[in-house]
Chains A and B, each alone.
Chain A
Amino acid sequence: DAGVIQSPRHEVTEMGQEVTLRCKPISGHDYLFWYRQTMMRGLELLIYFNNNVPIDDSGMPEDRFSAKMPNASFSTLKIQPSEPRDSAVYFCASSLGFSGSTDTQYFGPGTRLTVL
């Protein structure tokens, strides 16, 4: 298995532009997670899906952020409009199950976003 795939690996954009990050989870995994990594706050969970359904989006910072999972093999995280404070590394992770969080989450390589 290729693992969790994310694209693009790097994204540089200007303030106000729309940014779309993409993720392909490991085949057969029922859960998909979006995280944001910053120096100040570390690794924060933004949202997670179970069987393509958003379960908890309480970590999404504001309405400018949205995430979708149209099918079991694809998810997007969109920021519109982007701001410089959104600059961070965004990770996608997937897990086979989520029984009391004992299941291992497998992380993708991340997308490094820079908003100028």
Chain B
Amino acid sequence: ILNVEQSPQSLHVQEGDSTNFTCSFPSSNFYALHWYRWETAKSPEALFVMTLNGDEKKKGRISATLNTKEGYSYLYIKGSQPEDSATYLCAVSGATNKLIFGTGTLLAVQP
């Protein structure tokens, strides 16, 4: 069974702080890792898809890294802004090709 864990569960930072959170998954039978951003009352929105060990992706102030050998991915936000407040979801696909989601990290950025 593919189990995806995210930490921390929630995070409160001040505007301008840089922050990061973690997604952990079993390294066996790994195919791809997805990061989604989910704002309250909106749909989850795709940020990145990563497949290869050592992959790094960047979108504005947000970046992500992937380590498939040890089974983790980091999401970084540089200079957090209030509009970055959202739940950040990680999803992993394994042998079944289905996306298994973590429970997310809730980020609150205080102005």
| Chain A residues close to B by CB (< 8 Å) | 3-4, 42-45, 48, 56, 91, 98, 100-110
Q: How many residues of B contact A (CB 8 A)?
A: 23
Chain A interface mostly: loop
Contact yes or no, A107 B32, CB < 8 A? no
Nearest Cβ in chain B — how far from A59, in angstroms? 8
Contact yes or no, B44 A101, CB < 8 A? no
Q: How far is the CA of A107 from the CA of B43 in the complex (A)?
A: 6
Contact yes or no, B49 A102, CB < 8 A? yes
Q: How far is the CA of A27 from the CA of B73 in the complex (A)?
A: 32
Among B58-84, those with CB < 8 Å from A are none
Is the CB of B24 closer than 8 A to any CB of chain A?
A: no
The A-B contact count (CB < 8 A) is 54
- Which residue of A is nearest B44, CB measured? A107
Known: A44-B101, A100-B51, A104-B34. 5 other contacts (CB 8 A): A42-B103, A101-B32, A101-B97, A102-B51, A104-B49
CB-CB nearest 4 A-B residue pairs: A101-B93, A107-B43, A42-B103, A43-B101
Is the CB of B26 closer than 8 A to any CB of chain A?
A: no
Contact yes or no, A106 B49, CB < 8 A? no
User: Can you name 30 A-B pairs with beta carbons within 8 Å?
Assistant: A3-B43, A4-B43, A42-B102, A42-B104, A43-B44, A43-B89, A43-B91, A43-B101, A45-B98, A56-B96, A56-B98, A91-B44, A98-B97, A100-B31, A100-B32, A100-B51, A101-B31, A101-B98, A101-B99, A102-B32, A102-B49, A102-B93, A104-B34, A104-B46, A106-B43, A107-B36, A107-B43, A107-B44, A107-B45, A109-B43
Q: Which residues of A contact B98 (CB under 8 A)?
A: 45, 48, 56, 101
Contact yes or no, A102 B31, CB < 8 A? yes
Q: Which residues of A contact B91 (CB under 8 A)?
A: 43
Nearest Cβ in chain A — how far from B85, in angstroms? 18
Nearest Cβ in chain B — how far from A50, in angstroms? 11
Contact yes or no, B43 A91, CB < 8 A? yes
